[in-house]
Amino acid sequence: MRLLISDHLSNAYESLKSNRTRTFLTGLGITIGVASVTIVLALSAGVSQVIGKQISALEGNIAVIRPQSTSSGDITEQQSFAPSTITEADYAAIKATSGLMRSAPLMIVSGIPTKGTTKPSGTSVIATTPELQDIAKLTVKDGQFLDEHTNQQTAVIGEQLSVDLFGSDRSAGQTFTVKGQRFTVIGVLKRFNDPVNFNTVDFDRTAIIHLAAGKQLSGASAPLQQINFQAKDSSHLAGVIRTVDEKLASAHQGDKDYTIVSGDDIARPTSRLFEIVQGVSVAIAAISLLVGGIGIMNIMLVSVAERTREIGLRKAIGASNAHIIWQFLIESLIMSLAGGLVGYIAGYVIAFVISTFLTFDPVFTWQIVGVAAALSLGVGVVFGLYPAFKASRKDPIESLRQYH
């Protein structure tokens, strides 16, 4: 190309400068689009990172039995609404499997921890065995966790729940009720800060009671949400899973209405949901980007129309069609790339502001940089090409005759 890129750039700069407001507003459209994409990607990468960290913390020897067959992996299978198919009998059946180090059933009790008239929302009650502490890596900061010696009327509560109920994070010895049943707090959990985890329980807002107490509260049948179990080490896990599967199959008379997941699959139901939420959010953000792109095309078409005579003149003094295409394409590219850069930075600033209200931080990855760059470049090219072609196809004679 005979025309130097620097000439195109200074040319585009002059022309964009001569319409500052217009350039700014057009670039702003791209800024908003790229910023929203960046926010969504940065925050959802943060969520994935949280789940990923948990999975790697599981040391590869934990498996989870969940009710219902999730082999199809379909998100519409709402396990939480279906009556659970796993019972305490199953827990009893697998408890003594050889190679199995510890196991903990998880029973969600339908009740709200209550103190007087205080009924904090968003809280849950789960009934389990003392082994949960080790499997879920829970730390007690005040008092102790449940063990074989603590009685049925004791509970360990999350820090936030403690604050909500008693106005203090040190509430050992205090009492609260669930469905009229009185429980004494024997320990408060250290802040867990992970509402997203494989137990699908926000431990900060949960009261943990003995399985037997839970059974009393929800009737004798005692359906379980899930059973976590931990093999002696990761090499034993496959064998343990196989044995547990056999035991459950015989207990369920061959009815495969449960699933045993391990490794990355444990986090899958939640991360799958996030994938969908992320996909939808990105799609919505992409719409704003599309609107920004239409803005670029619109303004470039106006610019081409306004500068018809200039195009004619440039052709008369020696500009080829390619020169004209580049002239306008580079203008739209400058707007989209500059808008995209500002949008990327703004997106992270906003993501960090948002994250102060959330329990996870936005994550910086090169993928997001790539996506933001590719999107701005793509928008600039896609929406700049048509006006540029239109400009280059103008007949110089007609163009020069304009406004005569």
The residues that touch another protein, with contacts defined as CB under 8 A, are 2-4, 6-7, 10-11, 14-15, 18, 309-310, 312-323, 396-397, 400, 403-404
Quote the least distance from Cβ 397 to another protein, whole Å: 5
Quote the least distance from Cβ 7 to another protein, whole Å: 5
| Radius of gyration for the chain, computed over Cα atoms and rounded to the nearest angstrom | 31
Sign of CA dihedral 64, 67, 72, 77: negative
How many angstroms separate the Cα of 301 from the Cα of each of 19, 298, 386? 14, 5, 8
**CA–CA gap between residue 81 and residue 84 (Å, rounded):** 9
Q: Identify which of residues 4 and 96 has a Cβ nearer to another protein in the complex.
A: 4
**Which residue from 117, 109, 62 is spatially nearest to 266, judged by alpha carbons?**
62
**Which residue from 273, 264, 382 is spatially nearest to 332, judged by alpha carbons?**
382
Residue 332's CB is within 10 A of a number of other CB atoms, namely: 29
**CA–CA gap between residue 185 and residue 207 (Å, rounded):** 9
DSSP per-residue letters across 37-48:
HHHHHHHHHHHH
Name the 3-class secondary structure at 196: coil
Q: Identify which of residues 312 and 340 has a Cβ nearer to another protein in the complex.
A: 312
Q: Identify which of residues 24 and 352 has a Cβ nearer to another protein in the complex.
A: 24
Quote the least distance from Cβ 303 to another protein, whole Å: 12
Quote the least distance from Cβ 341 to another protein, whole Å: 25
Q: Identify which of residues 125 and 400 has a Cβ nearer to another protein in the complex.
A: 400
Q: Identify which of residues 110 and 402 has a Cβ nearer to another protein in the complex.
A: 402
Q: Identify which of residues 352 and 389 has a Cβ nearer to another protein in the complex.
A: 389
Q: What are 228's strand-pairing partners?
A: 64, 104
Quote the least distance from Cβ 21 to another protein, whole Å: 15
Quote the least distance from Cβ 318 to another protein, whole Å: 2
Tokens for 12, please give them.
Answer: 């585009």
How many angstroms separate the Cα of 181 from the Cα of each of 56, 128, 152, 378? 38, 17, 11, 62
Q: Identify which of residues 25 and 316 has a Cβ nearer to another protein in the complex.
A: 316
Quote the least distance from Cβ 265 to another protein, whole Å: 60
Quote the least distance from Cβ 2 to another protein, whole Å: 4
First to last CA, the chain: 33
Q: Identify which of residues 277 and 316 has a Cβ nearer to another protein in the complex.
A: 316
**Which residue from 211, 262, 213 is spatially nearest to 241, judged by alpha carbons?**
262
**Which residue from 289, 287, 258, 240 is spatially nearest to 95, judged by alpha carbons?**
240
Q: Is 115 exposed, middle or buried (CB count within 10 Å of its CB: 0-12, 13-18, 19+)?
A: middle
Quote the least distance from Cβ 393 to another protein, whole Å: 11
Q: Identify which of residues 328 and 383 has a Cβ nearer to another protein in the complex.
A: 328
